[in-house]
Structure 1
Amino acid sequence: MTRPPMAPLVLLAALSAGVADVPARAGTPTIGDITPAGVPRGEATALTISGGNLDNNPRLLAPIPVEVGPAPEGQASDAGHWRLTLTVPADTPVGTYPVRVRTDDGLSNAVLLAVGQVPQVVEQEPNNTEDAAQAVTPPVVVDGEAADNDVDFFRFPGKQGDRLVIDVRASRIGSGLDPTVRLTTASGRYVASDDDSPGFLTDARLIVALPEDGDYLIELSDSQYRGANRPNYRLLIGAIPVADEVYPIGGRLGETVGLELIGGTLPDPVVAAVTLEAPEGTARLWPSIPGLLAGVPEFDIELPGALAIGRSPELREPADPEAPPLRVAPPATINGRLELEGDEDQFIVLVQPGKTYRAKVEAALLGSAIDGVLRVLKPDGGQIAQGDDAAIPLSKKGRNDAVTMNSPDPLTEFAVPEGVTEVTLALRDLSSRGGIGHPYRITVEPVEPTFEVELMAPEASVPRGGAANVPVNIARFGFDGPVTLSVVDPPAGLTVRAGVVPAGQTAGVISLLAAEDADLPGDPIRVVGTGQGPNGPIEVAAETMITFASLAGFPTNVRPQRGLPVANALPTPISVESPAGPIEVVQGFSAEVPLSLTRAEGAAAALEVEGVSPPGGLTVAKATIAEGATEGPVTVTAAPDAPLGPALVAFTAKGKVNDADRSFAVPAVAVEVVAPASLSLAVANVELKAGESAQVAGTLARKPPFTQEVTVSLDGLPAGVTAEPVTVAGDATDFTLTLTAAADAAAAEAAAKANAAFKLGDADYPPLSAPLTVKVAPKE
Structure 2
Amino acid sequence: MSPPCPNGPERRAGARAIAAMMFLVVLPASTRADWPRHRLDGAFPPGGRAGESVEIRLIGGDLDAVEGLWFDHPGIEADRIEGDEKPPRFRVTIAPDAPIGLHDVRAVGPLGVSNPRAFVIGDRPEAVEAEPNNNPGEAGPIAIGSVVNGQINGATDVDWFTFNGRAGQRVLIRLDAFRLDGTLDGEVRLFDASGRELAYGHDDLGQDPFVDATLPADGTYRIEVRDVVYSGAPAHLYRLTLHDGPHVDAVVPRAIAPGETATVSLLGRNLGGEPTGTLLPDGLPLERLEVTITAPPEAAFDPDRPGVGHQSSAGGGVAGFWYTFENDRGTAEPVFISQALAPVVVEQERGTGGAPPRLEPPCDVSGDFLEVGDADSYRFEAKKGQVWIIEVFADRIGSPVDASLLVQQIREDGSVVRDIGEADDLGDPGTGPRFGTGTVDPILRFQAPEDGLYQVFVGDLFNATVPAPGAVYRLVIRPERPDFLLFTAPSDPGSPEGVTLHAGGRATASVLAHRLDGFARPIRVEAEGLPAGVSAEPVVIAANQAVAPIVFAASDGAPPKLGTVRLVGRPLAEDGSPADGPARVAVAGSITRGPAPVAPARVTRGLVLAVRPDAPILLSASPSEVVVSQGEQVELTARVARRPGVEAEIQVSADALPNNVGADTPKIEKDKDEATLTLTVPGNAEPGIYTVLLRGTGKVSVPDPVNPGQAREVDLNEPSNPITLTITKK
TM over 0.5: yes
Q: Give the structure 2 partner of residue 489 of structure 1.
A: 528
Q: Give the structure 1 partner of residue 359 of structure 2.
A: 327
1:84 deviates by 0.7
Q: Which amino acid aligns with 1:185?
A: D
- From 336, 352, 371, the counterpart of 1:307: 336
Equivalent-residue separation in structure 1 for 2:685 and 2:598 (angstroms): 38
Equivalent-residue separation in structure 2 for 1:567 and 1:237 (angstroms): 39
Corresponding position: 1:236 with 2:276: no
Q: Which amino acid aligns with 2:178?
A: S
More off after superposition, 245-254 vs 173-182: 245-254
Q: TM-score, normalised by structure 1?
A: 0.71
Q: Give the structure 2 partner of residue 64 of structure 1.
A: 73
Q: Which amino acid aligns with 2:476?
A: T
Q: Give the structure 1 partner of residue 569 of structure 2.
A: 528
1:356 deviates by 5.9
Contact 1:529 1:539 in 2 (8 A): yes
Change (3 A) 1:446 1:561: farther
Q: Give the structure 1 partner of residue 276 of structure 2.
A: none
**Relative contact order higher in (CA < 8 Å, ≥ 6 apart):** 2
The Cα offsets for residues 312-358 of structure 1, whole Å up to 9 and x where unpaired, read as 2351316797898362424x532233466665444445555456654
Q: Give the structure 1 partner of residue 592 of structure 2.
A: 548
Corresponding position: 1:206 with 2:211: yes
Residue ranges of structure 2 left out of the alignment (5+ in a row):
1-33, 274-288, 310-321, 491-495, 702-712
Equivalent-residue separation in structure 2 for 1:100 and 1:85 (angstroms): 14
* RMSD of Structure 2 on Structure 1 (CA): 4.0
1:622 aligned counterpart, secondary structure: coil
- From 193, 201, 207, the counterpart of 1:194: 201
Contact 1:281 1:524 in 2 (8 A): no
- From 359, 367, 370, the counterpart of 1:336: 367
Q: Give the structure 2 partner of residue 225 of structure 1.
A: 230
1:394 deviates by 8.1
1:210 deviates by 1.9
Identity of aligned residues (%): 24
Corresponding position: 1:183 with 2:187: no
Contact 1:491 1:520 in 2 (8 A): no
Contact 2:51 2:96 in 1 (8 A): yes
Q: Give the structure 2 partner of residue 142 of structure 1.
A: 148
1:131 aligned counterpart, secondary structure: helix
Equivalent-residue separation in structure 2 for 1:506 and 1:394 (angstroms): 7
More off after superposition, 514-523 vs 134-143: 514-523
1:216 deviates by 0.7
Q: Give the structure 1 partner of residue 314 of structure 2.
A: none
2:212 aligned counterpart, secondary structure: strand
2:98 aligned counterpart, secondary structure: coil
Equivalent-residue separation in structure 2 for 1:666 and 1:582 (angstroms): 13
**Which of the pair is proportionally richer in strand?**
1
Q: Which amino acid aligns with 2:344?
A: L
Q: Give the structure 1 partner of residue 720 of structure 2.
A: 666
Residue ranges of structure 1 left out of the alignment (5+ in a row):
1-24, 676-765, 767-780
More off after superposition, 266-275 vs 201-210: 266-275
Contact 1:549 1:555 in 2 (8 A): no
1:263 aligned counterpart, secondary structure: strand
Q: Give the structure 2 partner of residue 359 of structure 1.
A: 390
1:172 aligned counterpart, secondary structure: helix
More off after superposition, 279-288 vs 664-673: 279-288
2:138 aligned counterpart, secondary structure: coil
Change (3 A) 1:31 1:391: farther
Equivalent-residue separation in structure 1 for 2:561 and 2:209 (angstroms): 41
The Cα offsets for residues 635-681 of structure 1, whole Å up to 9 and x where unpaired, read as 43444565566543301111221143222111112345568xxxxxx
Q: Which amino acid aligns with 1:661?
A: D
User: What number of residue pairs does the alignment pair up?
Assistant: 634
Equivalent-residue separation in structure 2 for 1:250 and 1:507 (angstroms): 30
1:118 deviates by 1.3
Corresponding position: 1:600 with 2:643: yes
1:86 aligned counterpart, secondary structure: strand
Contact 2:434 2:591 in 1 (8 A): no
Change (3 A) 1:628 1:478: farther
Contact 2:71 2:77 in 1 (8 A): no
1:545 deviates by 5.7
Q: Which amino acid aligns with 1:393?
A: D
Q: Give the structure 2 partner of residue 18 of structure 1.
A: none
Corresponding position: 1:379 with 2:410: yes
1:463 deviates by 2.3
- From 676, 692, 696, the counterpart of 1:649: 692
The Cα offsets for residues 454-473 of structure 1, whole Å up to 9 and x where unpaired, read as 54626433322322233455
Matches for 1:83-482 after TM superposition, within 5 Å: 83-146=89-152, 147-197=154-204, 200-226=205-231, 230-252=235-257, 258-268=263-273, 269=289, 271-276=291-296, 277=300, 279-283=302-306, 286=309, 287=322, 289=324, 291=326, 294-296=327-329, 299-303=330-334, 306-310=335-339, 312-317=341-346, 325=357, 327-330=359-362, 332-338=363-369, 343-349=374-380, 351=382, 353-354=384-385, 357-363=388-394, 366-368=397-399, 370-380=401-411, 381=414, 382=416, 383-387=419-423, 390=425, 393=428, 396=431, 410-420=441-451, 423-429=454-460, 430-431=463-464, 436-446=469-479, 453=486, 455=488, 457=490, 459-472=498-511, 482=521
Structure with larger Rg: 1
